[in-house]
Amino acid sequence: MTTDWEALYQSGEAGWDKGAAAPALLAFLAESPLKGHVLVPGCGRGHDVRAIAAAGADEVIGLDLAPSAFAGAETLANTHFILGDLFALPAEFASAFDAVFEHTCFCAIPRERRDDYVQAVAKALKPGGLLLALFYLTPRDNPDLTLGPPFNASVEELDARFAEHFTLLRSETPTVAFPGRENREVLRLYQRRGD
């Protein structure tokens, strides 16, 4: 069944939105700001977009398919919000980004479309570009992988799905997280391989 994200925003059921950028992203940016042009797919209300922009990226584009996600969201000089589908990116997004930041978009994608997610992110990145991903691995206590969204994932699944296009540079359990997400996330830094 397709999720109506717009309806969830309109009915005030955006329970994933914590009103702030992800703590693990802020900790990462304090050490290593993302540079250049950055894409944030499934950006929601844009907290992560603004944090990456404020940390010094040249331009940060937040993409979401729900108009109400970022309607009225605060923008900075180097942020843009675009209504669109990650699975149908505009042609000008091909090899356009130095970095992509993932946060609670992958877990919103059903398993049968997750390889499409990997392809889309790989296509958007320049060769050598970085994918910084804060994967919310186990939003559900029930291990049934068909339940969602949000859908659970495992590091083994990530290894299998991302291996074709990405080299894993770093992988760690974040030391900071939103309450309730402690030890349920993994922060990974991947590099897009050249083809």
Ligand X SMILES: C[S@@+](CC[C@H](N)C(=O)[O-])C[C@H]1O[C@@H](n2cnc3c(N)ncnc32)[C@H](O)[C@@H]1O
Under the binding rule (CB under 6 A), the answer on residue 104 touching ligand X is: yes
Task: Select the span of 84-92, 121-129, 159-167, 178-186 touching ligand X (CB under 6 A).
Answer: 84-92
Under the binding rule (CB under 6 A), the answer on residue 105 touching ligand X is: yes
* Nearest approach, Cβ of residue 22 and ligand X (Å): 7
Cβ-based nearer residue to ligand X, 105 or 189: 105
Under the binding rule (CB under 6 A), the answer on residue 139 touching ligand X is: no
Binding-site size for ligand X (CB under 6 A) equals: 19
Under the binding rule (CB under 6 A), the answer on residue 116 touching ligand X is: no
34's tokens: 């993302």
Interacting residues of 185 by C-beta distance below 8 A, sequence separation 6+: 24, 134, 135, 136, 137, 173, 174, 177
Please give the residues from 27 up to 56 whose contact with ligand X meets the rule CB under 6 A. Answer: 41-44
Residue selected from 29, 51, 60, 69 as contacting ligand X according to rule CB under 6 A: 69
Cβ-based nearer residue to ligand X, 65 or 73: 65
Under the binding rule (CB under 6 A), the answer on residue 13 touching ligand X is: no
* Nearest approach, Cβ of residue 73 and ligand X (Å): 11
Q: Give the separation between CA 169 and CA 167, rounded to whole angstroms.
A: 6
Name the site residues for ligand X (rule: CB under 6 A).
5, 16-17, 41-44, 63-66, 69, 85-87, 103-105, 108
